[in-house]
Amino acid sequence: MALIYITCKDEKEAVKISKHLLKKRLIACSNMHPIRSMYWWKGKIQDEKEVTIIAKTTEKNYDKIKEEVSKIHSYDVPCILKIDAEANESYEQWVNKEVNQ
């Protein structure tokens, strides 16, 4: 199982990306959280409000998720991270069922 961590400019974009990945059956679930991010961009430190997606999926879907998110994301350099995860058996079975339809 894998968690995919994606930062977005706002909730509207996070919902758009989440729905896109859900409709393509690449993820089973998406959680969205408001965050404050600080980072270097074009020689300056940025301090921005963003929304992060934590999506639950399988390891095998990561490359396709990166491809799909990159197509529709507003950022020049979107953050799309895969985090290896271990879940309780019933939850992992549910995720596998939802993304393998």
Place of tokens 């939850």: 91
pTM exceeds cut of 0.75: yes
In tens, the pLDDT along 8-31 reads 999 999 999 999 999 999 999 999
CA atoms within 13 A on the CB side of 30: 23
Main-chain dihedrals φ then ψ at residue 64, nearest 5 degrees: -70, -40
- Residue 101: per-residue pLDDT: 67
List of domains in the chain: 2-99 (3.30.70.120)
